[in-house]
Amino acid sequence: MSVQPALTAKEWVAFLPRDARRSAMGADDPAERHALAARALYGQPFGFTREDVWVLRGAALKERPYMTRYAELNDLADRIEALLPPEE
């Protein structure tokens, strides 16, 4: 793995409870949390890029004749794309 995990296994176990996490993040609704996640990932080496979306969509097209992973790959691409800034 070229990018270090954000938390160790022990840190994940000790992670804040859901309610405390929401208030600590300052985000009270899903839209605010989504925006906060997008801003936190933008421009970071561990974040997502438009190229990541293209790679996933290309992989999905290769799977299309078999339909084994087509929907899952496109769903993942959609979720990552939702965290990216709009194309110019």
Residue 67 has what pLDDT? 81
Residue 81 to residue 57: CA distance in whole angstroms: 11
Alpha-helical regions (H) of 4-85: 9-13, 18-25, 30-41, 50-63, 70-81
Q: What pTM did the predictor assign?
A: 0.69
Contacts of residue 25, defined as CB under 8 A and 6 or more positions apart, other chains included, come to 33, 36
Structure tokens that stand for 45 in this block: 């080496």
Averaged in consecutive runs of 10 residues, what is the pLDDT profile of the chain (88 residues)? 71 63 60 83 90 95 85 93 87
Residue 23 to residue 61: CA distance in whole angstroms: 41
Phi, psi of 4 (to 5 degrees): -70, 140
